[in-house]
Amino acid sequence: MAAHRRPPQASPRRTGFVTATAAAAVALSVQPASADPLPDPNKKGVRAQVDRLYEQATQATEKYNGAKEKADRLRGETKALQDAVARRQGEVNELRDRLGMVAAGQYRSGGLDPALQLFLSEDPDSYLAKASALDRAGERQAAVLQQFLSQQQALRLQREEATRKLGDLDATQRQLGERKAEIQGKLREAQRLLNTLSAKERTRIAQEEDRADRASARVNLGNEASASQRAAAALASAKSRVGMPYVWGASGPASFDCSGLTSWAFRQAGVTIPRTSQAQAAAGTRIDSLGALKPGDLVIMRTDLSHVGFYAGNGQILHSPKPGAQVRYESIARSGMPFMWGVRIG
């Protein structure tokens, strides 16, 4: 079986970015080989703590992604409602003008119909409680008046709905801010802990991360076919992003979080899937057996479904794993995250 080969080298700008990111948040899934790192007051290893902080940050990132997706949807719905309100207001104004012209004509002819008097009052909505007055108006006037009142009522309902949507949007945007602060706090704490390590230990960790990237370039993926052309196309797009950095909340094309990579890759294949790993877990046909996965299927990881990647073949996952890491291939069995199930799209 042919071995996967390293993709083209990253540009100097991207390499510099990855180096800086790795220095701030190196991958810590590997176990220490010799001396123990500095312990914290709870006597846990620094690297284990940082690993946990990064896991918490990625979990918070998926919640952030969900809130952002909701905010984007609410923003679009609110704009559509506001546009509809503006159109309906124009229609109401036009009906008001028509009724005003009728009233003016009646006034010039020597009188004003009682129904139009109601319309021209300070509270035209009170007309709804006095609908019997329509009997005193001509058939045409009655139809226009009824249309006006119906449009007024519909306008009021649309305005109320738009107000509710704006309230939901404000609450969601506050949630976005809270998630962002949570993620940044986890990453700052991880960096603080990393700074307690010696320069030699930090260098060794960075070298281990580099070895993981080089191992990714030599991985053997086998030659199993994908379940569909779209899955194959999505996987091919994801493969083209190997070496790109993990950035929380990013969805390409130059940086990704885990669900950002999978949703971006499927978009390149002409398929829209949800943004978050939890939503992607229910986006297609569930595959419970790891052995039944085909290349291009989604791989759902962790008990809270907070991680996702592509099944790449031969027991490998192609994913954007965590802060400080790059998009790469890794053994599912050695990823340190429990496999939950697969999802076949299309």
176 lies in some domain: yes
CA dist., res. 274 & res. 336, Å (int): 25
Query: Look-up: residue for tokens 């506001």?
Result: 82
> What number is the average pLDDT over the span 198-219?
87
- Domain's final residue, options 181, 196, 211: 196
CA dist., res. 259 & res. 299, Å (int): 11
Tokens standing for residue 220: 């053997």
List the domain range (segments joined by +) for residue 332. Answer: 224-344
> What number is the average pLDDT over the span 261-275?
97
CA dist., res. 280 & res. 300, Å (int): 8
Strand partners, 45: 39
> What number is the average pLDDT over the span 316-327?
95
Return the number of other C-beta atoms located less than 10 Å from residue 3's C-beta. 11
87 lies in some domain: yes
Specify burial of residue 174 (Cβ count, 10 A radius: 0-12, 13-18, 19+).
Answer: exposed
CA dist., res. 157 & res. 179, Å (int): 33
Q: Residue 153: its pLDDT value, please?
A: 87
269 lies in some domain: yes
> What number is the average pLDDT over the span 144-154?
82
> What number is the average pLDDT over the span 188-196?
93
Helices (H), 109-198: 114-119, 139-194
158 & 306 share domain: no
260 & 189 share domain: no
Provide the number of structural domains found in the chain: 2
CA dist., res. 276 & res. 136, Å (int): 61
234 & 173 share domain: no
> What number is the average pLDDT over the span 239-247?
96
Is 330's pLDDT higher than 80? yes
Is 9's pLDDT higher than 90? no
247 & 288 share domain: yes
Residues 6 or more apart in contact with residue 318 via CB below 8 angstroms:
235, 238, 239, 242, 309, 310, 311, 312, 327, 328, 329
Cβ 344 vs Cβ 230: under 8 Å: no
SS3 label, residue 8: coil
Question: Which of the residues are catalytic?
Answer: 258, 307, 319
CA dist., res. 48 & res. 339, Å (int): 21
pTM: 0.68
CA dist., res. 89 & res. 99, Å (int): 15
115 & 248 share domain: no
Listed residue (194, 173, 176) closest to 54, CA to CA: 194
CA dist., res. 245 & res. 321, Å (int): 10
Is 87's pLDDT higher than 80? yes
User: In which band, very low, low, confident or very high, does the pLDDT at 40 lie, cut at 50, 70 and 90?
Assistant: very low
CA dist., res. 283 & res. 271, Å (int): 11
167 & 297 share domain: no
180 lies in some domain: yes
Q: CATH number of the domain that 151 lies in?
A: 1.10.287
SS3 label, residue 235: helix
Greatest Cα pair distance in the chain:
105
Return the number of other C-beta atoms located less than 10 Å from residue 222's C-beta. 15
92-101, 102-111, 235-244: which has the highest mean pLDDT?
235-244
156 & 120 share domain: yes
Listed residue (238, 225, 342) closest to 291, CA to CA: 342
- For 295, phi then psi, to 5°, come to -55, 130
15 lies in some domain: no
242 & 309 share domain: yes
Looking only at the bridges linking them, the beta strands covering 328-331 and 316-319 are antiparallel
70 & 154 share domain: yes
